[in-house]
Structure 1
């Protein structure tokens, strides 16, 4: 099978920076390829050494060993990233202490268009099991993707929309069986190219029962769930069809249709579960050298019809959430102007959200969003300057409440300084603005998932932050090193605050808002104040044995990260809630002929600085290992068997980022055996 390659320009501005770090030291076992990769998708001919923005990428063998059923679990142990898990069904990434409406999760550069940012018990409708690459922008990405990306972006790329033809059949098949939740998985990703045509089909089916835990589900030992977490089953069906036409000049036109179905239990309740469905349609057009002034012009449009029902039990349907949304992007990469090369883009979106039922705590709301952005760069000797700006218009029009309009403006300035051929210093300064989310503005009612009665702040203003990042990397021979420090200073930071009952205690209410000291729900208001977040990430890699030493390759990698957040309140400074504690990790990666193996250990420290609505969390140690053996190889095709072990120490893992950590731990010891065929 032979790929017909064209001089490629970026599919999005994200590709300009994020794709380049696909061989990042922080995520791959060997440092050497980093210096050899030229990013063909970049219009500026970037290599991985030329990046300014802090980015991590999972791809290839590294991604295969870390894939889990949800995007949050897949990324949970990457430096600077954690997950706000809610049992096995829902798990959303947390980037440097930012989550929910501050972190956007994308599929091929367009939002998931679900309601996962609204509540931690809502799943992300993106399937990491068919991902070709997962890219993470750490820090503000408002410049590229608007208000919902002020804390970062996760972009999952797959093969559904092609920009090149791969002759004949290509893809992968996978089947596996797991022990912890008696889970079974089957996945197929099949592509066929001929002439100017590329077809695609994929499908995933995953079934898991209630998962095993080390002891009692409750941190105080009071739960009836002992040894296995009740109501934690998770079933997923996902599939897509795609077609692309690629002209001889490399212009690409593609379309895909997908459906995502999931049913999963809510383990904080005895019988409650969620049934979810999304139908999504994506189209793109990519023109190369359309006019003399442009290197490329790309248009993308996606439409989603989403709905889920929260069942109280098998016979009782509860609240129904719907989200019908359309998003479009236009990106034009221009020829050099006064030495500057870059991209100008437009992003448009409209959304109709509704909730019907007892827990419809957010009113039906229509939203419109339009953004114009530009990113430019130019090299001056050893320095490469990158600057950009974005202006956006956001309007939210709820039923029964006053509509609000916002105009967020974001800007960034970065510099990459080449200390030497192998060492680079990066400095980035970003001003990011975020419009409040609809729940922050208009919430009014009980929210069972978090045990709160939420009251929005109808007069909330734009959230603004200034972010500074300094990074250094060195890659030479067997050794690689990356380090970064960051600081966020925010004004009008939006947070959930308890309401004092007048006696110095939090106010509790019934589901109708009636004050009752023994009430089921904690009363919270969305408020704004100053906040600051600081932290660091460090990773080092060393090839103990490489190709020149013999048939065995062995590398060792270590990392550490930490984030600290403080919110200034009317009663004094308070720690930001649900922050990842300091962590460190060590891993070994080895190859011998047809066998590859990994073993990794991550130690999370105690989180003894909880927010006011949070609790302390004990540290934990997570030991994972996997082995893969190629049984048959012919040309570009290979069949392999793999074995994965997770939480091998069977530790009681309660992530500080989870709303329900005191009642629901992560899965205990488990193993997976599977077959994988790539062709």
Structure 2
């Protein structure tokens, strides 16, 4: 039997790390390289990334500037263990170690994005990375602080709107860029003004683009049909080299104010997010009752018009009570709505989400050797979908969570334990559907061993439970984004993930690196499974199993060649396992030239434990290498990533070809006083490779954009005080 590719790649990754391991065991004493210390704010304790027990990936500074793009999924797509569940250029949601959707929690300043992105793959995240200062990813369950929606990890997008310090004077920061592919324009401007005890702020950002260029035809069927023909001499329904209906426009703007004193702070921020984007790819037909006339249209013409108004509140009090260091309150209030616009201009479906979330954390002073944080987490979500494609009924969801995380030093090593219990209630607004409630319990323990100078071994054991989401319980209807007719199951039980994570790395010196592996065994894993009963979606009809997955029309009537695949939400034990590696070597760190090389690799496997059936839309294995150079006011980077073929397929899933990605960056810092100004050139997918993402529902009909070149300007002005 052939060795599985994930094992072969894992062995290659560990072998590649051996030279780094050797350096880590015997670091030369003259190593002068000092890396910037980054504070991670997503955990219960504000610590550096090197001090944390859980595996974390932090993107900030120049690395974030080079990756800053229109969606969070695009920004993080080349980080180890992270992929992008793209649904066209307007939608990009991160996938962590093969898991996404309701298991990956998107946060903005540690409060949930409170949108509808976890309900359907075609719903965009309402967090604008153009405004981010830092993006933190916790890989693996983060349920202790954030609840079951973080059972696979979190992505926390952080900015400086609600600070606990005042920076006197006026600061202006901006980033403007133009991309040739799709005539893409990006712009972000941020203003901060500090005076006395007050920090005021305002920000505005826009992303606008036309239809994007791609290599060849968008659909696999189009490429096969025209293979060997001269596309310039024929009239074809599908355009060559263009991703139809991929144009978009996104705007975000807001204001904030914070009052900061010696022992306290109180701040509020209001943000408006608006987006209008097309859904490229597959088509479907609707039947109109009036006149019994069939109106055929394509998803090529379907658009989503989205808007969100969000208010964030943060309060902080030091020494609030005897025996306690800090009391912190974070709260968010959300008003979200998006409309799915049909080609004729009529509104097909409207999604409305009214949500509030509050988290209170109280940190105590040392009790013996222990320090810790206790917390209360309360949420209320009122979801409603109205229209012909509303496959989930209106549901009110309430959540209440209590958690405690404790930490102490043991012989110089950092040890951490924690527990959380939740009460989750789903109340459908229909007498025909029953209420459901769950009590998930999550436990975690981990240790960060320090061996020698800056050499760490992290070991984490976690039992993380997730309550089923409302759409998994109550869905019944056509879900046209995935070309499926989904049937939920109100009898679902909580999902229980038992996760082991090991990582070994060095965080300082000429060689910095980390190599790790994980195993996640999930009992009662919730997923979609096709059926073979020959019945209508409501169970009526005559059974006729034929070994082929059932298909239905939009009304749920069984048809052998129906447009929609009939799928049930079901539960079965599953497992995810894989490995990740990254390394960096500072080749030159003295004189006018500085040069560093980096490498990374990752692989993940997801399958059902009974029978070994592969799970769908799992990330492919990857290996990458890049070089960064600085010379005076100039800096440059060149990167190459090999994305391997994804051929471990779930039933009815198509394979994803491998591809090669080449990127390049060139920057020049202008010699201005009081304002740091940089002009830059960026190239993405320079080989113009066709990228079909195995994590995307649209991989067979909508590849990623082709070769893209950007020119831009960044500036950062701080007025003298």
Superposition TM-score, scaled by structure 1 size: 0.93
Per-residue deviation, residues 34-68 of structure 1 (Å, max 9, x unmatched): 48667799997844432210000000110000011
Say which SS state the counterpart of residue 505 (structure 1) adopts.
Answer: coil
Q: 1:109 to 1:522 in 2, by over 3 A?
A: same
Alignment partner of 1:260 out of 243, 260, 273:
273
Q: 1:48 to 1:267 in 2, by over 3 A?
A: closer
Q: 1:131 to 1:672 in 2, by over 3 A?
A: same
Note the C-alpha offset of 1:130: 0.8
Tell me, yes or no, if structure 1 residue 235 matches structure 2 residue 249.
yes
Alignment partner of 1:652 out of 678, 687, 690:
690
- Residue 602 of structure 2 is matched in structure 1 by 561
Superposition pairs of residues 174-185 of structure 1, within 5 angstroms: 174-185=175-186
- Residue 470 of structure 1 is matched in structure 2 by 502
Note the C-alpha offset of 1:119: 0.6
Note the C-alpha offset of 1:634: 2.0
Say which SS state the counterpart of residue 468 (structure 2) adopts.
Answer: coil
- Residue 160 of structure 1 is matched in structure 2 by 161
Contact 2:40 2:136 in 1 (8 A): no
Q: 1:634 to 1:42 in 2, by over 3 A?
A: farther
- Residue 217 of structure 1 is matched in structure 2 by 218
- Residue 705 of structure 2 is matched in structure 1 by 667
Structure with the greater alpha carbon radius of gyration: 2
User: What CA distance in whole angstroms lies between the structure 2 residues aligned with 1:624 and 1:350?
Assistant: 43
Tell me which moved more, 274-283 or 604-613.
Answer: 604-613
- Residue 586 of structure 2 is matched in structure 1 by 543
Gaps in structure 2 of 5+ consecutive residues: 1-23, 25-30, 226-236, 282-298, 534-544
User: What CA distance in whole angstroms lies between the structure 2 residues aligned with 1:43 and 1:428?
Assistant: 16
- Residue 200 of structure 1 is matched in structure 2 by 201
- Residue 591 of structure 1 is matched in structure 2 by 630
- Residue 449 of structure 2 is matched in structure 1 by 417
Per-residue deviation, residues 509-531 of structure 1 (Å, max 9, x unmatched): 01111000011100000000110
Alpha-carbon RMSD = 1.7
- Residue 7 of structure 1 is matched in structure 2 by none
Alignment partner of 2:409 out of 359, 367, 379:
379
Contact 1:31 1:479 in 2 (8 A): no
User: What CA distance in whole angstroms lies between the structure 1 residues aligned with 2:483 and 2:32?
Assistant: 46
Say which SS state the counterpart of residue 63 (structure 2) adopts.
Answer: helix
User: What CA distance in whole angstroms lies between the structure 2 residues aligned with 1:495 and 1:48?
Assistant: 33
Contact 2:423 2:438 in 1 (8 A): yes
Per-residue deviation, residues 87-114 of structure 1 (Å, max 9, x unmatched): 0111100000110000000000000000
Q: 1:42 to 1:146 in 2, by over 3 A?
A: closer
Tell me, yes or no, if structure 1 residue 334 matches structure 2 residue 364.
yes
User: What CA distance in whole angstroms lies between the structure 1 residues aligned with 2:368 and 2:310?
Assistant: 42
- Residue 560 of structure 2 is matched in structure 1 by 517
User: What CA distance in whole angstroms lies between the structure 2 residues aligned with 1:581 and 1:676?
Assistant: 34
Count of residue pairs brought into register by the alignment: 645
User: What CA distance in whole angstroms lies between the structure 2 residues aligned with 1:126 and 1:340?
Assistant: 36
Superposition pairs of residues 298-337 of structure 1, within 5 angstroms: 298-337=328-367
Note the C-alpha offset of 1:597: 1.2
Say which SS state the counterpart of residue 473 (structure 2) adopts.
Answer: helix
Tell me, yes or no, if structure 1 residue 612 matches structure 2 residue 625.
no
User: What CA distance in whole angstroms lies between the structure 1 residues aligned with 2:240 and 2:90?
Assistant: 20
Alignment partner of 1:531 out of 568, 574, 590:
574
User: What CA distance in whole angstroms lies between the structure 1 residues aligned with 2:32 and 2:120?
Assistant: 39
Superposition TM-score, scaled by structure 2 size: 0.87
User: What CA distance in whole angstroms lies between the structure 1 residues aligned with 2:316 and 2:447?
Assistant: 30
User: What CA distance in whole angstroms lies between the structure 2 residues aligned with 1:204 and 1:38?
Assistant: 26
Say which SS state the counterpart of residue 287 (structure 1) adopts.
Answer: strand
User: What CA distance in whole angstroms lies between the structure 2 residues aligned with 1:660 and 1:555?
Assistant: 37
Note the C-alpha offset of 1:442: 0.5
- Residue 3 of structure 1 is matched in structure 2 by none
Tell me which moved more, 155-164 or 665-674.
Answer: 155-164
Q: 1:165 to 1:366 in 2, by over 3 A?
A: same
Say which SS state the counterpart of residue 574 (structure 1) adopts.
Answer: coil
- Residue 140 of structure 1 is matched in structure 2 by 141
Superposition pairs of residues 421-460 of structure 1, within 5 angstroms: 421-460=453-492
Contact 2:44 2:373 in 1 (8 A): no
Say which SS state the counterpart of residue 69 (structure 1) adopts.
Answer: coil
Q: 1:137 to 1:39 in 2, by over 3 A?
A: closer
Say which SS state the counterpart of residue 401 (structure 2) adopts.
Answer: strand
Per-residue deviation, residues 268-315 of structure 1 (Å, max 9, x unmatched): 212110000000011111011122311110011110000000011252
Q: 1:407 to 1:167 in 2, by over 3 A?
A: same
- Residue 632 of structure 1 is matched in structure 2 by 671
Contact 2:49 2:58 in 1 (8 A): no
- Residue 101 of structure 2 is matched in structure 1 by 100
Superposition pairs of residues 353-364 of structure 1, within 5 angstroms: 353-364=383-394
User: What CA distance in whole angstroms lies between the structure 1 residues aligned with 2:49 and 2:583?
Assistant: 17
Note the C-alpha offset of 1:32: 3.7
Say which SS state the counterpart of residue 621 (structure 1) adopts.
Answer: strand
Note the C-alpha offset of 1:475: 3.7
- Residue 716 of structure 2 is matched in structure 1 by 678
Per-residue deviation, residues 333-381 of structure 1 (Å, max 9, x unmatched): 1101121001111110001000001110000000100101111111111
User: What CA distance in whole angstroms lies between the structure 2 residues aligned with 1:394 and 1:438?
Assistant: 11
Contact 1:460 1:528 in 2 (8 A): yes
Alignment partner of 2:511 out of 458, 479, 482:
479
Q: 1:613 to 1:351 in 2, by over 3 A?
A: farther
Gaps in structure 1 of 5+ consecutive residues: 1-24
